[in-house]
Amino acid sequence: MGCRRRCQNHFLDFNFNSSSSSSSYIRLVALLLLLSFFFANFLVVNGKANATPSPVTPINHDLYHTSGALLEEIETLVHRHPDKLSIETIFSKNKGYQAEMTVVTYCSKRTDCDGKSKFRILLSFGQHGRELITSELALRILSILSEEEFLPNTDRGSLNNTLDRLVIKVVPMENFNGRKLVEAGEFCERRNGRGVDLNRNWSVDWGKKEKDYDPYEENPGTAPFSEPETQLMRKLSISFEPHIWVNVHSGMEALFMPYDHKNTTPDGFFSQRMKSMLEKLNHLHLEDRCLIGSGGGSVGYLAHGTATDYMYDVARVPMAFTFEIYGDGTASSKDCFRMFNPIDITTFNKVLNDWSAAFFAMFKLGALQVDGLHSGAVASSFDKWISIDDYLNGYLMERRNRYGKKMEVLELGMQEIRTYFRLFMLSSVLLMFMFCSRISKSARPIVSAMSL
């Protein structure tokens, strides 16, 4: 009864009556259609019409493993080849957030595997969650190392002679928690499980923000090494002391050397070696299609707090690289899976084949430089020095991890400690200057007297 009353009142507002209800309905529908037509045209003219959303490419599971399946296949591969491969899972935790990381070590003869006497290579894949193709490349490289897959046009005997001189550590999926978010549908996610970009969380030039800074893309965390994933990679690099470090990404095709935080490359011997090696890899295996140079000078923007800059400047890795193995520049900015990963089997296989060949060529070129890297002309005690900032960032973070929440106050005091240290050094220099000046003044009369 109440509904009918409301409807009747509504119709009376439009001067409708019961005797002409059918014609009233027709006029009402016509009026609504006319209004809709004019409104739609108004939106189109003013550029406000809702466009059809761009399609978002889902993960192609015919080509790509899930994170769990990929790590399980790697573990199974290692267990089939215990004479060459070993595996460990390492953990770290910070403020309730935990990360785990799988590390695979290759050594051609496990019984003769003194890592310090061989050429050491550390490879990290999957630092950004959305870059699935990088972890697939890690699996392909491990399969070739185990001899379950083979490089075309490669003499295995010659390759084995090269591999006998190497120890290779592979982190196939550095950002496991971020990868899980991508698999849950957040295809554009590059950060870790609590929203920090792991490639902005290292101590070299940490926290600096450019004018185009995007917190979604480049959140550096609360402090250098605040993230468990970064802590684990730092510990691994310190204990392993690699001669070559490669951080593998996707988004474009490039072979980068330091620096990321400034538009220059380093000076000296190793800079020349790095550039020469990259040029050879690009020409021999990548059809000269890759950009070569510093990340900061080639990409078009500076990146602060990156792993590669830390490895080169602080960890003193002689050759530190960032490889960008794939990118689709035609993809929409919202279609991240397609932008960072090949979506058809032909391109997928080409990426894995070309870059596998490039990596094994790098292994060979690196092994040839073992003698030079151990020479006294190259390595000196000074090369192991680090800045007070980096020492404090690393040492205090290590202490905080060891003793848990009781040491969290150190995070807040790092900046103050660095400030006090600088003031102490400045005061010492000023006191020394004043002391020397006083001695100089007091010595003048004596000198004058002696000259008479």
Helix residue ranges, H only, 164-227: 176-183, 215-218
Active site residue 324: yes
The proportion of the chain whose per-residue pLDDT surpasses 90, expressed as a percent, equals: 61
pLDDT at 116: 72
Residue 368: predicted pLDDT: 82
Average pLDDT over residues 137-144: 98
Query: What is the third-level CATH fold of 67-374?
Result: Aminopeptidase (3.40.630)
Question: How much is the CA Rg of the chain, to the nearest whole Å?
Answer: 31
pLDDT above 70: residue 30: no
pLDDT digits 0-9 by tens, 174-224: 999 999 999 999 999 999 999 999 999 999 999 999 888 888 889 999 999
Q: Quick one: pLDDT band at residue 371, thresholds 50, 70, 90? A: low
Instruction: Using alpha carbons, select from 181, 180, 195, 188 the residue that is nearest to residue 56.
Output: 188
pLDDT at 155 over 50: yes
Q: How confident is the model at residue 384 (pLDDT cuts 50, 70, 90)?
A: very low
Helix (H, G, I), strand (E, B) or coil at 359: helix
Q: Taking CA 444 as the corner, what is the angle to CA 441 and CA 449, rounded to the nearest 5 degrees?
A: 150
pTM: predicted TM-score of the whole model, two decimal places = 0.75
Q: Three-state SS for 255?
A: strand
Whether 452 has a pLDDT exceeding 60, the answer reads no
Residue 67 tokens read as 């994170």
Q: Which residues pair with 292 in a beta bridge?
A: 255
152-155-158 Cα angle (round to 5): 140
**Amino acid at the residue 172:** P
How high does pLDDT run on average in the chain? 81
Q: How far is CA 429 from the centre of its chain?
A: 40
Q: In the chain, what are the domain boundaries? A: 2-45, 67-374, 390-451
Out of 324, 398, 408, 411, pick the active-site residue: 324
Give the amino acid at 46: N
Predicted confidence band of residue 114 (pLDDT cuts 50, 70, 90): low
